[in-house]
Amino acid sequence: MTELKDFGVPGVGSGILHPAKANQFRVLLDDSKIIMMQVTKVQVSMVDRTITVHIEQPIGMAQEMLDEIGRLCYRSIFPDTTFPFKFPFAIELLDGNEGVHSSVSGFAHVVKHEFALDYATSHLAQHILTLRYTRDAQ
């Protein structure tokens, strides 16, 4: 019998949320494989140069995801960094397998994070990250 551990995200490993769907895109934020595996929707606004990343995950992984998002948001509290901390990002459009047929990349910083839990309806934990992006690291 096939188990969830038998499915994976190309370039990441096991744990894909929707194994029945072909992999259509992936979002790379800094070096975070946790966030990449949980992204369900991405919206890009060219007007205000923002990217909104929707993430769903099992409630049991909430602390791990919050730690990872905190690392992206607050890395600037460490010495020798600037605020806001900019990290590399890429949105890759996939061909359904390992192939990337187009991508957008640059640098971004977190401007907003929303986190929602709804125990009454047993939904997954939901995060919405809003990033402001640019082409350079400055």
Is-cis flag, bond preceding 79, omega within 30?
A: no
How far CA 47 is from CA of 97, 119, 135, in Å, comes to: 32, 36, 15
Tokens of 66: 């919050």
The total of structural domains in the chain comes to: 1
* Neighbour-count burial for 78-109, b at 16+ CB within 10 Å, e otherwise: eeeeeeebbbebebbebeeeeeeeeeeebbbb
If DSSP codes are grouped into helix, strand and coil, which group holds residue 16? Answer: coil
Q: Identify whether 5 is part of a domain.
A: no
Tokens, residue 82: 């600037």
CATH code of the domain containing 117: 3.30.200
Q: Is residue 137 part of a domain?
A: yes
pLDDT tens-place values along the chain, 138 residues long: 555 455 555 555 554 444 445 557 888 888 777 777 778 888 989 899 999 998 888 877 778 888 888 888 776 445 455 556 788 888 888 776 667 888 888 999 888 989 888 777 667 888 899 999 988 766
CA nearest 11: which of 108, 126, 128, 103?
103
Domain residue limits at 67? 21-84+106-138
- For residue 97, tell me if it sits in a domain: no
